[in-house]
């Protein structure tokens, strides 16, 4: 079953690629998917590798992208502010997982 799903998804991706290459431009540009692989990693971590969680995580990441674009246009902030914010979310999530998994206890100073 898993192999069948892999074959179907690969065929769909190939069909999308053919449509992009043979479209009006006729060639593939580098700007077609700028750094979406790194965004997918953040979505997977935020969604906890669960299909429903990934849907909500992708919505959150999309909102941060749109918010960063809007802030860049209207407030003249740097282009990478949204990516920095997404990176901070990822690091805070990883830090909380680390602290919960290893059950680190902070011990105060003994007097």
pLDDT tens profile 36-67: 778 888 899 899 889 999 999 999 999 998 99
- What pLDDT is recorded for position 6? 94
Comparing 51 with 99, the larger pLDDT belongs to: 51
Neighbours of 58 (CB within 10 A): 17
Question: pTM to 2 decimals?
Answer: 0.63
∠ CA 54-58-62, nearest 5°, is: 175
Only one residue has tokens 């206890």, namely 105
Domain boundaries of the chain, sorted by first residue: 33-103
């Amino acid at each position: 079953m898993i192999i069948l799903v892999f074959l179907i998804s690969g065929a769909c991706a190939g069909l999308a690629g053919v449509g992009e290459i043979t479209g009006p431009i006729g060639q593939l540009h580098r700007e077609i998917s700028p750094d979406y692989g790194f965004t997918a990693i953040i979505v997977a971590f935020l969604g906890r590798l669960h299909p429903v969680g990934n849907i909500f995580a992708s919505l959150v990441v999309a909102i941060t992208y749109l918010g960063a674009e809007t802030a860049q246009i209207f407030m003249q902030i740097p282009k990478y502010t949204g990516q920095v914010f997404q990176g901070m979310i990822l690091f805070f999530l990883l830090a909380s997982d680390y602290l919960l998994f290893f059950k680190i206890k902070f011990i105060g100073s003994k007097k």
